[in-house]
Amino acid sequence: MSLFFKDADPVFLGAGTKPGLEIWCIENLQVVSVPKASHGKFYSGSAYIVLNTTVPKCGIPQHDVHYWVGENANKVDSALASDKALELDAALGSCTVQYREVGGQETEKFLSYFKPCIIPLEGVYCSQLQHPKDKTYQIRLLTCKGDRAVHVKEVPFSRSSLNHNDVFILDTASKVFLFSGCYSSIQERAKALDVAQYIKENNHSGSCDLVTIDDGKFVGDSDVGEFWSFFGGYAPIPRDVPSDQTPSDSSIKLFWINTQGKLYPKGYDALNKEMLETDKCYMLDCDSQLFVWMGKHTSVTERKTSISAVEDFVRKQDRSTGTHLTFLTEGLETAAFKVYFDDWPNIVEPKLYEEGRGKVAAIFKQHGYDVKELPEQDFKPCINLQGRIKVWRVDGDSITPLTEAEQKKLFTGDCYIVQYTYPGSGRDENIIYSWLGRMSVMEDRREAISHLNTIVNLTKGDSVVAQVIQNKEPDLFFYIFQILIIFKGGKSTQYKKHLEDENSNDDTYDESKNALFRIQGTGLDNMQAIQVDLVSGSLNSSYCYILQTGTCIFTWIGSLSSTRDHEILDRMVEMINPTWQPVSIREGSEPDLFWEVLDGKSEYQKGKEAKGPIEDPHLFVLNISEGDFKVKEIYNFTQDDLTTEDVLVLNCHNEIYVWLGCHANVGGKEQALDLAHKFLEKDVLGEGISLETPIYVVTEGHEPPLFTQFFEWDFSKANMHGNSFERKLAVLKGKVHNLDSPVRKSWKALSRETTPDGSRRTSLSPFQHERNLSPAFPGSGPHLKSPNRDIFSTPTQAVRKLDLTSSQNAGSPTTTSLSHSPISSQSSDILLNNEDVAAENLPIYPYERLTVVSKDPIGGIDVTKREAYLSIEEFEEKFGMEKTTFYKLPKWKQNKLKMTLHLF
């Protein structure tokens, strides 16, 4: 929303109220609006102001202001554009980041607004309609530099302008020639080809030919001969002479700018935030980049003086025209600025709405009002949730397959491999997780990654790979399991050995020990029971809990929990132990025994940990040549930025995706996980991203919907042959039909209730797509100070040969089956067993003697199926349905009905 500064130019009225670009130009010392039809056309003799407004998924609109100065613009227009950019910032509430752009040396962020490029026009901008003059087509020679954002510059039309390092475009009346220097990169050639196509479409209405010329090719092609004829015939291009440039001083300097515009040294290299006073302006000199930091208690006049002083500093220092200037207001510092300061505090201001909505609901509930909290943001699964799941427990160099009942129970001291296979378009797709328990030891974590790599290779290598650490699980992980119980302790040999070495007690769960479980989830298709520390401080009024003691079972219902939580609680009691007969207590009415088991009553939390706002994703390209590791952001990214020679990281804040191009120089997905860890350590955005953030690795041509949802995805572009340049050239020459394009289509969020095919599970809850409500689980293993830091440091191990012919046997100590045959349906087994119960020839007893409260109970019966001893008539009278119908119900629902009739 535009706030409008009273002294701002009226032309800025209403600026920034809508997302997108707004452009103004200095014309006759006035600011005039540039119509959308002229966006991207910049005249070298003019100065412009460009406002880009973005609206994130959560939060207020964000603004970037750029003032662009053409290389032939006069000083008066340039200075006026600078002043007006500051006025626009004030009109928007002094909450913009400002950039100075010089024609031909623009920042990549600025160029990302105008794809594929900016080609400056000669002359000055005129807002009045100009009648075109008839003249012959002017031949131009352009150079294209950059493998992401392309800098296009017109150079003298001469053979001496050509070199072996760059890509050139010769624009003639009948043809557009693309000349690629022999030392230019594939990515540079591909981007230059986009520019050549842009020139063809805009300058020639698409009617001319586009020809590619390779450096060194000079015979055998009429197009090659025609190209060189424009330069008077072929002659060798001289080799470039290395420039003898004296390296500049790379030290970082901070200057204070006084109100008269004079600069005073403030500090060198070792800088900290305390040096920046809120009523002053400063310049940070980083050689090729200069920052002006303006305290929020400075006036517009002081800011104008500071900006002018820095621009004069650049001119007097004879700095390169490529020196970038960025102007920042206190509180809006970019990650590129903060990186030069030691330990810049990472303070995330809570959003008032996010912070307040839960508190208000909690206050009203405590006063007895039935207030519904605003719903959490919906989670849309993106992939088919009708798949099948396999789980293996890691134990050193062996892995053990788990039965269907066991695979819903994980231990914090162990590591697991989880393979989820789901139907795609025309074939099955796989996501393979490594789940690392918070208390697991480093040896098992390393082995888990090795086993993960082995299973991926056995699935032809096109599976999506994910690494998940306990308590940082993504929503999809829980939806895949539906029901999950996480116990304390572990079963692995290395975990047991660690306990012995540390002389620690083994707290691995068993039914004889006291235990406390927190119940969480969003519905009956996403619920978990997490064993927590056996102390009252583990309680939270917003959750329900199960307390297991030696004499009885308590279910504790928090005062701020919902009916949905109660429904999940009932279900999870049965999942942990179906024979339990719990005593239900509400918060505030606990018996003494309850607190005794928890070591006495103490303070505990009331509200759930609030989830942060959903941030927009950022895309980065990784430069990993010769052991170097550099990260560069790609602004305003699209699918076309996924170039096949590169490794990219899509940072979605709560999880990251590593994308591997088919021609990327990366040795498999294990190395990709290592790169992801380095990326997390680098924390490019300065957001304090956790080293335990979930990591997904996807490969080109096999991108799952959970990745493609962040793009406007065109599946015809995936799986094309050749490098980036060859692919684009094939498209331009109409050879797309020869390329191998996948037939998969974008997957829409699927509801199990409407799926016509064989469903693995049936949705039983109206809350099936709500976001996971689980809080961050406090505490980590004392022996694992940095659980994710060294996990990938070991060399890649040889792929193990696993037995693919043995049946999946839970009793097998070491080997496992990795075949892709569907796992037998648990629901089918239950139905079969229950039909057997219905058909059993059992003695008949009256209802009154079968109940758990009977004064004359029947002895010698199976107490887990009291209802089976009822006559057909009495069964239908009590339950309102036939026995066969009853036994087709889910087990939890059977037990709930039996409880209401005192038969359970």
Calculate helix-pair angle for 891-900, 563-576, nearest 10 degrees.
Answer: 100
- Whole-number pLDDT of residue 427: 82
Q: 547 or 462: whose pLDDT is higher?
A: 547
Query: Domains along the chain?
Result: 10-113 (3.40.20.10), 140-230 (3.40.20.10), 253-339 (3.40.20.10), 618-733 (3.40.20.10), 847-901 (1.10.950.10)
Transcribe 516-542 into DSSP letters: EEEEEEEETTEEEEEEE-SSGGG-BTT
Reported as a pLDDT band with limits 50, 70 and 90, residue 358 is very low
Q: What is the mean pLDDT of residues 240-262?
A: 73
Q: What is the mean pLDDT of residues 412-435?
A: 92
- Whole-number pLDDT of residue 223: 86
Reported as a pLDDT band with limits 50, 70 and 90, residue 831 is very low
Reported as a single tens digit per residue, the pLDDT across 742-801 is: 433 333 333 333 333 333 433 333 333 333 333 333 334 433 333 343 443 333 333 333
Reported as a pLDDT band with limits 50, 70 and 90, residue 65 is very high
Q: 529 or 340: whose pLDDT is higher?
A: 529
Beta strands at 428-436 and 483-487: parallel, antiparallel or unpaired: unpaired
3-state secondary structure 554-566: EEEECCCCCHHHH
> Is there a contact between 680 and 690 (Cβ–Cβ < 8 Å)?
yes
- Whole-number pLDDT of residue 350: 43
| pLDDT above 70: percentage of residues in the chain | 80
Distance CA 338, CA 118 (A): 30
741 φ, ψ (degrees, to nearest 5) = -100, 135
Beginning with the edge strand found earlier in the chain, give each strand of the sheet holding 175-180 in spatial order.
151-155, 140-145, 167-171, 175-180, 209-214
- Whole-number pLDDT of residue 441: 96
- Whole-number pLDDT of residue 735: 62
- Whole-number pLDDT of residue 56: 83
Q: What is the mean pLDDT of residues 173-193?
A: 93
pTM of the prediction?
0.78
Distance CA 114, CA 119 (A): 10
- Whole-number pLDDT of residue 837: 54
Please tell me the least confidently modeled range out of 315-319, 771-775, 882-886. Answer: 771-775
Q: 664 or 615: whose pLDDT is higher?
A: 664
For the record, the structure tokens of 148 come out as 């992401």
Q: 165 or 852: whose pLDDT is higher?
A: 165
- Whole-number pLDDT of residue 233: 85
Q: Is 878 helix (H, G, I), strand (E, B) or coil?
A: helix
Reported as a pLDDT band with limits 50, 70 and 90, residue 120 is confident
